[in-house]
Structure 1
Amino acid sequence: MDLLSRPVLVLDLDGTVCLGDTPVLLYAERVAAFVDAPEALLELAGAFLGNQLPETAPKALIGAQDGYEAVRILAVAAGVTEEQLSTAYVESRAAIGEHPGDIHTPAGLVDLLAGLDAHRVVLTNSPGDGLDAILEHIGVRGVIDEVVSDALKPTRMRAHLDTFLAAAGATDTPERLMSVGDIWRNDLAPALERGCVAAYVDVFDRRQGPAHVRAESLVDLYAAISQWSRDPSSFIEANPRKEPVRC
């Protein structure tokens, strides 16, 4: 990687670059094959995605970070094992290439990425199988410089960030890397620990932790991403990390 003159933009995939319910629904379908009451699991997963959970839904679902976590909560309660969950996830990711359904990017994302003078990375826990097909389908493959699959976030996130910073000659200037994502513990907490810029796509208004900029939609962060890419040092001075405000 020759990044020495460019800042590094690290983008999460699901819930950030790739939107739509299809990936979670495919996962839920495969998880449901392991439970005694598959219809109930699928109904609750759909209700979570539609923000229409019934009063009888398990309380744990209310705090789920995204649809994947909601399905996992339901699955574990039904006795699904970690191995079965892993199998369901891998199979569902491979299936997206054949059945992309409603997956799409936020409006204007391709134009934003095309206009940035930055090294653009998609960093995802998704397996490599089927990933290129997903990126091609949503139209971002041509505006992404690097794709890292099987990232094992959050466990390996700090190591990934250090690799990018070293390649960019930015070990001592970590503000030259911005991490953008919708799961605070996966995408943002490690970036903040390293001194990088954190842009929080807080879709469900969870307010899990601090960030330099935060919005409920990636679209609302476009201006901040552009400003950061032009002058990371000035950006972080103007946008110090902010603690979440509880209403």
Structure 2
Amino acid sequence: MPLAILLDFDGTAYVGDLAVQAYARRVAELVDPTTATLIIGGMRSFLEGRVAPPGVPDVFATAEDGYEVVHAMSDGAGVPLDARRAAYAQSREDVVRSAFALDAQPGLTDWLDGLDESDQVWLVTNAPEAGIAEVLDAVGLTAAVDRIISGAGKPDGLRAIAADAVARTGDPRRVLGIGDRWAADLAAVHEAGGRTAHIDRFDRRLGTPTWRATELAPLLPALVRWSTDPEAPVDR
């Protein structure tokens, strides 16, 4: 029976903060200069693990990624949801134009390329479809990804996707979710009985993933073992 790997996009499929930095810059264009400086500075401080600047919302201490921080700051600045969505769409275009600067996750492509032909790798993302192919090509994942599910509506939308993966594999233990946000990328896979690999960059220790590390590379040995024998007892 095949395996199914549900792979998150930003923060998981490639290394770097280009996408959230582009989003923060686009949101900053919608506010006054003082607020714009706070948004950019707050986002950078968060990503670099520094102390939050004065005026940054409390979410700074609990967020799993930079998007949560920018969302909170833009809400606090009164940026309308429609304007924020437009800024996000523009930021995705920015990412495509700079895709050449993105770095591949060390070891990810080699592992995925070594899977059986019947195994499936689905890229599952809330990002729009436009530009995804260019990013995958830039980081060498085009051949490894069998299906792109854009606009996935995670976290709620992941339930149906996980159920589909379980149905296709015939055993939830043959389904693996990989992501950097527990609730959005992994919880539904866990609920379906699948395995989960949490790239917990900021060490929030949320949820109950099968495996957890602050980077993908330390997780790869366990993922290789899983892909070789997915029904074996979990080795954490």
Normalised by the length of structure 2, the TM-score is: 0.92
Name the residue aligned to 1:13.
9
SS across alignment from 1:136: helix
What is the aligned-residue RMSD (CA, Å)?
1.5
Distance 1:26 1:14 in 2: 12
Check whether the contact 2:38–2:53 (CA below 8 A) recurs between aligned residues: no
C-alpha distance in structure 1 between counterparts of 2:31 and 2:62, whole Å: 22
**Residue identity matched to 2:25:** E
1:27 aligns with 2:28: no
Question: Partner residue of 2:179?
Answer: 181
The letter of the residue matching 2:41 is E
Q: Which whole-Å CA distance do the structure 2 matches of 1:94 and 1:149 have between them? A: 15
Cα displacement (A) at 1:59: 2.6
Looking at structure 2, the residues matched to 104 and 226 of structure 1 have their Cα atoms a distance apart, in angstroms, of 21
Q: Is the 8 A contact 1:61 1:70 kept in 2?
A: yes
Distance in 1, matches of 2:84 and 2:112, equals 33
Residue 163 (str. 1) matches residue 164 (str. 2)? yes
Q: 1: distance between equivalents of 2:234 and 2:45? A: 40
Give, in whole Å, the separation in 2 of the partners of 1:167 and 1:195. Answer: 14
1:108-127 to 2 correspondences below 5 Å: 108-117=107-116, 118-127=119-128
Q: Equivalents in 1 of 2:7, 2:167: separation in Å?
A: 18
Query: Given the superposition, is the C-alpha separation of residues 60 and 101 from structure 1 closer, same or farther in structure 2, using an over 3 Å criterion?
Result: farther
Counterpart AA for 1:24: V
Give the SS at the match of 2:103.
Answer: coil
1:39 Cα offset (Å): 2.0
Q: 1:143 is paired with a residue of what secondary structure?
A: coil
Q: Which runs of 5+ in 1 are unaligned?
A: 241-247
In the alignment, the residues of structure 2 paired with residue 41 and residue 59 of structure 1 have an alpha-carbon distance, to the nearest angstrom, of 14
SS class of match (2:5): strand
Distance of 1:214 and 1:114 partners within structure 2: 22
CA distance in 2, matches of 1:153, 1:28: 21
TM-superposed CA distance for 1:147, in Å, is 1.3
Any idea what the Cα deviations from partners look like across 1:226-246, whole Å, max 9, x if unmatched?
111111111xx2348xxxxxx
Structure 1 residue 199 corresponds to structure 2 residue 197 = yes
* Cα shift readout 1:155-202 (whole Å, capped 9, x = no counterpart): 11010111222233x1xx211101111100011111111111111111
- Name the structure 2 match of 1:137: 138
Change (3 A) 1:186 1:110: same
Is 1:72 aligned to 2:71, yes or no? yes
Aligned partner of 1:212 in structure 2 is: 210
TM norm structure 1 = 0.88
Q: Deviations over 1:32-75 (max 9, x none)?
A: 12222212211211111111234524332111110111111111
1:135-165 Cα distance to aligned partner (Å, 9 max, x none): 1111111121111111110011010111222
Q: After the TM superposition, which of the residue ranges 5-14 and 51-60 deviates more from structure 2?
A: 51-60
Partner residue of 1:150?
Answer: 151
Corresponding residue SS for 2:177: strand
Matches within 5 A, 1:99-114: 99-100=98-99, 102-114=101-113
Residue matched to 1:41: 39
Cα deviation digits, residues 110-152 of structure 1 (max 9, x gap): 1111112231121111100111111111111112111111111
